[in-house]
Amino acid sequence: MKILITGFEPFGGETENPSWEAARLLNGMSVSQCVLVSVQLPCVFSKSLEVLENALKLHQPQMVIALGQADGRSDVSIERVAINVCDARIPDNEGAQPVDVAVVQGGPAAYFSTLPIKKMVTTLKSNGYPASVSQTAGTFVCNQVFYGLQHVLKDQKVASGFIHVPLLPSQAAKRSGATLSSMSSTTLRDALLCLVPILANHAKRGEADLQVAMGANS
């Protein structure tokens, strides 16, 4: 089984992106009869989905996990839903800043993750990693990639979804005026590795996700 893992290039003036730092550490690893392949995506609205689709065609994965950086998140956030809108608070890496633009014209309002998100959270926590189900992937390039991924794979038997990860310690140390949570790239790598066995079982057996309360209070 092949699992494609994507991470983003640095953006917003950063020189690192935890999503790519974790993804690149996983590239080429073999776990639970799964081969992990990592691809870096540009943080550019006009290019991210093209690079993603080319990676899907090239690698033909049986599962896809897209990773992204989330400033201020304190845990590994398994995203539930992607929405069909780009509404950028800051410009992307080529200066584009779309406002209220659809990811896919005429597409559905939203797509849900097809990963076993609650099993993933439960597994992470049982292995000592902070984790939660997130109800929003934002409206920047992360959400665009999540929505585009689910749209491309909607008629295929390829489980896919998105995970937001905290800043790296080196990034958090540079932020002034706030104390932000962080997680090292090796910790992120190890957290993601502990998910591979349950993801492999999910893909092979098609088991249902857990039905436990992990909703938001507001």
Strands 159-165 and 34-41 turn out to be unpaired
Nearest to 114 by CA among 157, 59, 50: 157
Q: Give catalytic status of residue 202 as yes or no.
A: no
DSSP 86: B
**Residue corresponding to tokens 């098609």:** 206
Residue 108 has which token pair?
Answer: 């559905």
The residues pairing with 31 across neighbouring beta strands, listed in sequence order, are 34
Annotated catalytic residue, options 43, 86, 142, 202: 142
| 86 counts as catalytic | no
By three-state DSSP, how is residue 124 classified? helix
Does residue 101 contact residue 41 with C-beta atoms inside 8 Å? no
Gap between the Cα atoms of 100 and 103, Å rounded = 9
Q: Which of 21, 43, 164, 202 is catalytic?
A: 164
Catalytic residue among 79, 94, 151, 194: 79
Active site residue 194: no
Q: Which residues are catalytic?
A: 79, 142, 164
